[in-house]
Structure 1
Amino acid sequence: MHAWLCENPVGVDALTWKEIPTPQPGPGQVLVEIKAASLNFPDLLIVQNKYQIKPPLPFVPGSEYAGVIQAVGEGVEGLKVGQNIACLSGTGGFGTHTLAPAALCMPLPDGFNHVDAAAFIMIYATSWHALIDRAQLKAGETVLVLGAAGGVGTSAIQIAKAAGAKVIAAASTDEKCALCKSIGADETINYTAHALPNDFREAVKQATGGKGPDVIYDPVGGDFAEPAFRAIGWRGRYLVVGFASGPIPSLPLNLALLKGASIVGVFWGDFARREPKANAQMMQQLAQWYGQGKVKPVIDRALPMAQLKEAYALMGSRSVKGKLVMTN
């Protein structure tokens, strides 16, 4: 097999494409021939040694992938050779083969293609856990999605619309705003045209008729957090999803008091670990929604696995709409 090896986590440039022995699955593992793997923000952090999980060196990055099972280890039940699966295991995806924990493999129903499957688990599980579980989103409520044209942002738009909510999507260009509209957003805010903090806050209030959003989905953090939170509605829920802009914001807690609002942490990975039955039910529902056409990953482009470094550069340029996927 071949894979992109991270032998020194100092950045993308240090990754090397190497031939390594194809492993055999141990107990509880399956060997997967990788057909597609998506690029997620943690994949950038992990090769820079900035992610909370620091794998032993050397390792193969690529947290999320889809492919075909080639071999099954001892004790594995419910999976078989030749079966199509998707998996989010944290590492191993940027290669031709990997060993995947059987417990983390999602069997793919007929019609679920590998490119979509490789871009599915992280963003839709995060957004479902955030909006449906943590925020208890109800039909008729209004959701403001920040960073709405990115991977988690596009999934949040689709899940909020499927739940019967009104969606206001905030993105950085007119082109990205148009994409958000095309996948269901009711209104958009181009935040480069609304200077932080006051203009952006006013744009949010105007888009909600002065009421403020019931739920704010924030995977961006940084300078957007406080003006967005100042615009939140009564009993609003502010979902802390991530910090793609870099800085971790500090919110004045008196704002939560004045709005009767909640600041809600969203950590899907630990939810999946601590509440596996609830997570499995969620993933089953999401797969059904995919089959019904209610959700579908927005794929910016699919590139050959050999062009991984180009994909990283595209992600760093913040020009990507939806997800980047590498294919074998």
Structure 2
Amino acid sequence: MKAMIVRENGPLSNLQLEEVADPVAGPGQVVVGVRACSVNFADSLMVEGTYQVRPPKPFSPGLEVSGYVAELGEGVTGFAVGDQVQALTNWGGFAEKVAVPVDALLKVPAGMPHEDVASFVVAYGTSHVALDYRARLQAGEWLVVTGAGGGVGLTAVEIGHLMGARVIALAGDDDKLEVARSKGAEFTVNYKDEDVRERLKEITEGKGVNVVYDAVGGDIFRACFRAMAPEGRILVIGFASGDIPQVPANHLLVKNIELIGFYWGAYKEFKNQVLVDSAKRLLQWYEDGKIKPHISKKFPLEETVEAIRSLRDRKSSGKVVVMMGADA
């Protein structure tokens, strides 16, 4: 089969298309014939060797795939060859086939496009669990989403609006802010042109914002933090800016602010039912037509490096997907 392979960590150019042996389903495993793999920021870090998960080399990155069951390992029940599935792979997704544990599989609605399936669980799951389970977002509250044009940020806009919040989308590009408006943002702020703190105070008529969903960090985090309402909650999702802000603990006391760290993948290890319940709710919303992934770019397998660069360099909005097989 064909796969994008890393033999030595380093720049993205180290990711090369190769012919490798097909995977075999061991006990409790399933081989998935991959039709689509979404691109995540972690893929770039994994190639560089700076991600918290470091696969043994050689390896293929790719965390989240859509495809069909191609082979069942010993002891596997509940799935049949040909079933359409979504799989969380940890790595290995940028390949024509990948072997995964059966508990990493999720059946999806019949006919759901592969690019939608591959773009769904991590991005929507991150925003739903963060906003609903961790931040306890309530209808009518002010929600700020930073990096609102990105794959995860855009789902936070969409889900926040669906939950009844008044959403303020922040991004550094007017076109991305237009997409955020189409997903339910009531107000938009271009942080390259506007004073974020002052604009948030103006929008909320001086009351401040209730929940901040921050995947950017740096000065954007600091500006949002200073514009929070009493009993506000700020979700730390990531640091796309590369600047990890430091928060003086005494500042949390003044307004009784909650600083909430959130890493979706950790729940797979210690509280997986939270993710299972979230996935069921999200798929029902999808079937009801309430949510739909925004996919701005699709690439064939051999252009995976360009796909990752497109996301890393912020040249895309929403999700970027690598397509394989008949869907490429």
For the aligned pair, the TM-score class normalised by the smaller chain equals over 0.9
Alpha-carbon distance in structure 2 between the residues aligned to 1:100 and 1:287 = 21
1:153 aligned residue: 153
Post-superposition CA distance 1:124-179 (Å, at most 9, x none): 11111110000011111110000000011011011111111110000111111111
Please, which of 279, 293, 297 is the counterpart of residue 297 of structure 1?
Answer: 293
Structure 2 residue identity aligned to 1:6:
V
Post-superposition CA distance 1:159-213 (Å, at most 9, x none): 111111110000111111111101111110011112xxxx211011112121111
Matched, 1:271 2:271: no
1:253 aligned residue: 249
**Secondary structure at the residue paired with 1:236?**
strand
Deviation, structure 1 residue 253: 2.0
Alpha-carbon distance in structure 2 between the residues aligned to 1:292 and 1:161 = 16
Alpha-carbon distance in structure 2 between the residues aligned to 1:27 and 1:242 = 36
Kindly indicate whether the alpha-carbon contact (under 8 Å) linking 1:225 and 1:251 is maintained by their aligned counterparts in 2: no
Matched, 1:282 2:278: yes
Alpha-carbon distance in structure 2 between the residues aligned to 1:178 and 1:267 = 28
Deviation, structure 1 residue 111: 3.2
Deviation, structure 1 residue 282: 1.1
Kindly indicate whether the alpha-carbon contact (under 8 Å) linking 2:236 and 2:260 is maintained by their aligned counterparts in 1: yes
Alpha-carbon distance in structure 2 between the residues aligned to 1:315 and 1:49 = 18
Alpha-carbon distance in structure 2 between the residues aligned to 1:101 and 1:252 = 43
Q: Which moved more, 1:30-39 or 1:264-273?
A: 264-273
1:311 aligned residue: 307
Kindly indicate whether the alpha-carbon contact (under 8 Å) linking 1:145 and 1:169 is maintained by their aligned counterparts in 2: yes
Matched, 1:219 2:215: yes
Kindly indicate whether the alpha-carbon contact (under 8 Å) linking 1:230 and 1:255 is maintained by their aligned counterparts in 2: no
Alpha-carbon distance in structure 2 between the residues aligned to 1:253 and 1:212 = 19
Kindly indicate whether the alpha-carbon contact (under 8 Å) linking 1:60 and 1:93 is maintained by their aligned counterparts in 2: yes
1:26 aligned residue: 26
Post-superposition CA distance 1:26-72 (Å, at most 9, x none): 11211011000111000110000010011111111111111011001
Alpha-carbon distance in structure 1 between the residues aligned to 2:131 and 2:138 = 9
Alpha-carbon distance in structure 2 between the residues aligned to 1:98 and 1:111 = 21
**Secondary structure at the residue paired with 2:56?**
coil
1:321 aligned residue: 317
TM-score w.r.t. the length of structure 2 is: 0.97
Alpha-carbon distance in structure 1 between the residues aligned to 2:208 and 2:188 = 14
**Secondary structure at the residue paired with 1:270?**
helix
**Secondary structure at the residue paired with 2:206?**
coil
RMSD over aligned Cα, in angstroms?
A: 1.0
Alpha-carbon distance in structure 2 between the residues aligned to 1:188 and 1:269 = 29
**Secondary structure at the residue paired with 2:209?**
coil
**Secondary structure at the residue paired with 1:148?**
coil
Deviation, structure 1 residue 320: 1.0
- Segments of 5+ residues of structure 1 without an aligned counterpart are none
Structure 1 residue identity aligned to 2:149:
A
Post-superposition CA distance 1:248-281 (Å, at most 9, x none): 1111222211111100011111112211222211
2:172 aligned residue: 172
Alpha-carbon distance in structure 2 between the residues aligned to 1:212 and 1:73 = 54
Alpha-carbon distance in structure 2 between the residues aligned to 1:327 and 1:82 = 18
Alpha-carbon distance in structure 2 between the residues aligned to 1:11 and 1:26 = 33
Alpha-carbon distance in structure 1 between the residues aligned to 2:323 and 2:45 = 21
TM-score w.r.t. the length of structure 1 is: 0.97
Deviation, structure 1 residue 295: 1.4
Please, which of 227, 237, 241 is the counterpart of residue 241 of structure 1?
Answer: 237
Post-superposition CA distance 1:6-25 (Å, at most 9, x none): 11011210111111111210
Alpha-carbon distance in structure 2 between the residues aligned to 1:242 and 1:101 = 28
1:187 aligned residue: 187
Alpha-carbon distance in structure 2 between the residues aligned to 1:232 and 1:267 = 22
**Secondary structure at the residue paired with 2:192?**
helix
Alpha-carbon distance in structure 1 between the residues aligned to 2:293 and 2:251 = 35
Alpha-carbon distance in structure 2 between the residues aligned to 1:241 and 1:148 = 12
Alpha-carbon distance in structure 1 between the residues aligned to 2:318 and 2:60 = 23
Q: Which moved more, 1:271-280 or 1:8-17?
A: 271-280
